Amino acid sequence: MTNVNIERADVVLEGKDAEIDRRINKEYQAGFVSDIESDTLAPGLDEDVVRFISNKKGEPEWLTEWRLKAFRAWQDMKEPTWAHVHYPEIDFQALSYYSAPKSMADGPKSLDEIDPELLRVYDKLGIPLHEQMALAGIAVDAVFDSVSVATTFRETLAEAGVIFMPISEAVHAHPELVKKYLGSVVPQRDNYYAALNSAVFSDGSFVYIPKGVRCPMELSTYFRINEAKTGQFERTLIIADEGSYVSYLEGCTAPMRDENQLHAAVVELVVLDNAEIKYSTVQNWYPGDADGKGGIYNFVTKRAVAHTNAKISWTQVETGSAVTWKYPSCVLKGDNAVGEFYSVALTNNYQQADTGTKMIHLGKNTKSTIISKGISAGKSQNAYRGLVRMNPGAAGARNYTQCDSLLIGNQCAAHTFPYIESKHPSAVVEHEATTSTVSDDQLFLCRQRGIDTEKAVSMIVNGFCKEVFKELPMEFAVEAGKLLEVSLEGSVG
Amino acid sequence: MPELFQHQQSELAASTVKLPWLTAFNQRGADAFRTAALPTRKTEAWKYTPLTALTRLAPQQCGQPVTYTNPLVAFARIDGLHDHRLVFVNGILDKQHSSASALAAVTLFSEANAEQQALIAQHLGHVAQQSESPNLFTDLNDAALSDGVLLHIRDHQPLLQISWLTTSEAKPFTVFARLLVVLERHAQAAIVEHYGSDLSEQNSVTNAVTEIVINDNAQLQHYRLQTMHSSAQHIGSCHVDLQRDARYHGFHAGFGSTLCRNDLVVHHNQGGSHCQLDGIYVPQHDELIDFHTCIEHRAAHCTSNEVFRGIMNDQAKAVFNGRIHIHPHAQKTLAELSNKNLLLTPGAEIFTKPELEIYADDVKCAHGATVAQLDNKAMFYLQSRGISKADAEVMLSFGFINELIEQLPDEAVRNLLRPMLATRFDRDSSLTHDIG
């Protein structure tokens, strides 16, 4: 993702081409394929495939039916075309919908039993499980392709009453919770990709925080797409019961691949009265090479429902994927509910991103804040698309939106499409957006003080994103800063 | 509504034509209109503005000149304009109430000489066609066009008023208004484009298309005012073509009606041009008003500034869509947009979408949109000085919009709009009488 090909019509600063050339051959750092046998289903999708997936996981009858209902709805739906992204048509019949690491059959009981090849993959990505367990105090539910292979710290969490397990296990262990909340935030028919996900979802995380419990540690899931031509369809369901709190971290990276891979996840958050969920994402899927070949298609539906006095905070750093289509949303259902959205979206080369949020204010005195920073470099397209809706019951509701775009290079594009709908006279909505470039003045100031152009741009960009980074948990903030730096290398122009 | 549309699409016949170029022109419009899809809620540009209220679209204009009483003319009178005025009633030029000076200043398409015909052929339809997205109702206007007004300004044109008025009729009818304004190099002009009606229940829909070409270093002050009765419907568009160093100041006022839609498109085609686009909308009762604006920056070193303000009262609904589109080579562009809205009552609705679409890096663009209620501090300030809550509300609402009116360079227009605005908020105009 560091490869850049900039043709500059009006060269502002001479001598940077050499700098760019020097960095052109840099390869995607997380690009490697792990050699593990996988149990993969032949490409294609029909009701039998849906049944196969459900059967393979030993799911109860109601869930099989639930999947089939979604599948039938999906067949009648059309792929959405309104997003400001362009990609070749996806042949959904050419994808494989199930893949599980072979070693799973034996059912590892502890880390020692886990396929060493798997562990090495995580090591390469800088996620040493042991270290994290010992030092960071983070429980990791690692999703390798589709099936969870390691869940740690379960006992510590169990003491607090927190349930943190793969959703496929939760279906058996806590059917009443899954049945009650699955699809309650993102219904099967919600949109094209959510319907597809509902039909074929592979696995994902399930979290339940009991009443009044403050989750003793930050929960984290790392997952990566590993098997060639495998779509990955995570389904995450987090329920924060009354008065509870949890911070959930999600980060991902994918190995290098030539063919586009589809990633259609669904994340559902239920935040009951007085509870709070903080959901942070660092997304670094493979973005394709410098010519726009390959890369992940990331079509994600994320939504949260906040009940009375509840709070949701979405923080995301998006640097990867060839195409991103993602709108983490908040339905502020109860009175005094709070929704927050902090986002940094960086696109380079031929990446395309159409991302933003929806804030649906239903309750009285609900509040929402949107801070979105888009950085567009190379030949990429970066769009913010947001909706703020004040429904007739949203008395005294408040929204503040700020979305800024930074353009680096004269062949990229930045767009802003904010929808504002207000139906209550006492609701207040404020929206501000700016678009600008890294100015020559700023660069001059830095270079004059002996900072080279690359460093200067990195500094300016980091400053630009500061408001969002400060919302991230510490470990993530470090990773995000690094990611941004790596992603931007060679794009100075 | 769909039936009506299909009916329209099949019924469209070229008008009773005398001009040689018009047949092809009508034909092109008719073809485009016929093949166009009917806008639905899923059509992005019509998402919030349902066309269900549009039941009067008739294929032809109101055929016969109508007799009307003198008070109608009063609605067309703007004091201080020295009677420099052109009046159309139900789409037909009323020479009796138009002034001689105004009649001399403009040319009807049907009366144009060879040179003027060439000018019309060069520009008519071409300015509107520059838009990337097709406009169904511009196509309809093209298809139904039988005559229009050409305003060709070579040097200086003092404030000229062109009024399209409709009267209360039993049968539904459509007025197709067409205006082409061409400013030559270094020319200067000011025009008031006015859509009004008498005070009774209206049965008309006005489909107006205005095309404006501003050549090098020319400048235009343009007012587009809609003051018709709330039962009158309006679907119009205004297209501006800016050449090198051209300047356009547009002021668009809409007081709302059962259906009022305006598409304003400004094309910066050459460097150094500047556009100031301002507007107000104050719908009340169950009125709807929709402004879709688009600033196309195609050339480098251009600036644009857009300010729209609206107040929604009762059950009224307003839609604002402000798009700024910076094309790949439009470097050093400065573009700003501000849209502020006040909702006065539960039931009133606003849908606003300021859009930025930017394909050049060395630009500065900003937009802001707010939806709010009257400022508590300002209310407190007035109330603490013994002004009742209701009165304070009127004063602040009026002031919110009046701020834009105050900036208008022509006193005659200010004097026209201020009392109209005052009656919207303050039905006996005791509070707003002395303001300004």
Which residues of B fall within a CB distance of 8 Å from A390? 371
Give the residue ranges of chain B where pLDDT is below 70: 1-18, 58-82, 426-436
* Block residue for tokens 């009175």: A335
Using DSSP bridges, classify how beta strands B219-226 and A358-361 pair: parallel, antiparallel or unpaired: unpaired
Would the CB atoms of B367 and A429 count as touching at under 8 Å? Answer: no
Amino acid at B302: C
pLDDT at A22: 52
Gap between the Cα atoms of A57 and A172, Å rounded: 10
Out of A409, A430, A434, name the one closest to residue B361 (CB): A409
pLDDT recorded at residue A74: 93
Please give the Cα distance from A285 to A254 (Å, whole number).
5
CB atoms under 10 Å from CB of A15, counted, come to 8
Interface test with A, best of B49, B342, B361 (most A CBs within 10 A): B361
| Of A367, A291, A378, residue with least CA distance to A330 | A367
Q: Inspect the interface and report whether the beta carbons of A405 and B345 lie closer than 8 Å.
A: no
- Give the model confidence (pLDDT) of A349-394 as tens digits: 889 999 999 999 999 999 999 999 999 988 999 999 999 999 999 9
- The 10s digit of each residue's pLDDT in A22-57 is 554 555 555 555 555 556 777 888 888 899 888 888
Residues of chain B in contact with residue A425, where contact means CB-CB under 8 angstroms, are 343-346, 348, 373
Q: What are the tens digits of pLDDT across the range B281-331?
A: 999 989 999 999 999 999 999 999 999 999 999 899 999 999 999 999 999
Q: Do A432 and B44 touch (CB under 8 A)?
A: no
Contacting A with CB below 8 Å, chain B residues are: 44, 48, 328-329, 331, 341, 343-373
Task: Please check whether residue B234 is in contact with residue B264, taking contact to mean a CB–CB distance below 8 angstroms.
Answer: no
Q: Which residue has the tokens 């009656």?
A: B423
Whether residues B365 and A437 touch (CB distance < 8 A) is answered with no
A425: nearest CB among B346, B352, B357: B346
Question: How close does chain A come to B433, measured CA to CA in Å?
Answer: 27
Quick check: A407 and B355 CB within 8 A? no
- Give the closest of A416, A425, A428 to B356, CB-based: A416
Q: Which residues of chain A neighbour B367 with C-beta distances below 8 Å?
A: 416, 431-433
Token pair, residue B126, equals 């071409």
**Coil, helix or strand at residue B264:** strand
Q: Which of B372, B50, B281, B393 is nearest to A424 (CA)?
A: B372
Instruction: Give B35 to chain A, closest Cα distance, Å.
Output: 21
User: How would you classify the pairing of strands A352-355 and A323-326?
Assistant: parallel
Are the Cβ atoms of A428 and B344 closer than 8 angstroms? no
Please state the pTM of the whole predicted model. Answer: 0.85
Which pair of structure tokens corresponds to residue A465?
A: 């994103």
The reply to whether residue A415 touches residue B360, judged by beta carbons under 8 angstroms, is: no
Chain B nearest C-alpha distance from A256 (Å): 29
> How high is the mean pLDDT of chain A?
79
Task: Give the side-chain half-sphere CA count within 13 A for B379.
Answer: 9
Q: What is the DSSP string of A26-73?
A: PPPTT-------EEEPPS--SHHHHHHHHHHTT--HHHHHHHHHHHHH
Q: Which residues contact B256 (CB under 8 A, 6 or more apart)?
A: B230, B281, B282, B283, B284, B287, B288, B289, B316, B318
Summarised one tens digit per residue, pLDDT across range A170-183 is 999 999 999 999 99
DSSP A170-221: HHHH-HHHHHHHTTTSS-TTSSHHHHHHHHH----EEEEE-TT-B-SS-EEE
Residue (of B29, B226, B251) closest to B135 by Cα position: B29
Beta-carbon count within 10 A of A216 CB: 14
Question: B328 and A433: CB-CB below 8 Å?
Answer: no
| Chain A residue closest in CA terms to B362 | A437
Q: Quick one: tokens of B59? A: 């294929």
Closest approach of B418 to chain A, Cα-based (Å): 25
Q: Supply the DSSP symbol for A123.
A: H
CB A257 within 8 A of CB A34: no
| A410–B362 C-beta distance less than 8 A | yes
Confidence of residue A147 (pLDDT cuts 50, 70, 90): very low
Distance from the Cα of B414 to chain A's closest Cα (Å) equals 29
Q: Do A429 and B371 touch (CB under 8 A)?
A: yes
Neighboring chain A residues of B332 at a CB cutoff of 8 Å? none
Q: Rounded distance, CA A22 to CA B99, Å?
A: 73
Which pLDDT value is given to residue B272? Answer: 95
A441, β-bridge pairs: none
pLDDT of residue A225: 45
Task: Report the gap between the CA of B353 and the closest CA in chain A (Å).
Answer: 5
Has residue A338 got a pLDDT over 70? yes
Q: Where are the beta strands (DSSP E) in A107-153?
A: 139-144, 147-151
- Report the distance separating Cα A368 and Cα B43, nearest Å: 28
CA A9 from chain centre, in angstroms, equals 35
Q: Residue B355's closest chain A neighbor by CA?
A: A417
Residues of chain A contacting B351 with CB distance shorter than 8 Å: 419-422
* SS3 (DSSP) at B435: coil
Crossing angle of helices A47-56 and A61-76, rounded to 10°: 150
Query: Which residues in A have their CB inside 8 Å of a CB on B?
Result: 9-10, 12, 82, 390, 392, 405, 407-437
| B349/A430 Cβ within 8 A | no
pLDDT of A4 above 50: no
Pick from A408, A417, A431: CB nearest B368: A431
CB-CB neighbours of B64 under 10 Å? 8
For tokens 């906040």, the residue is A306
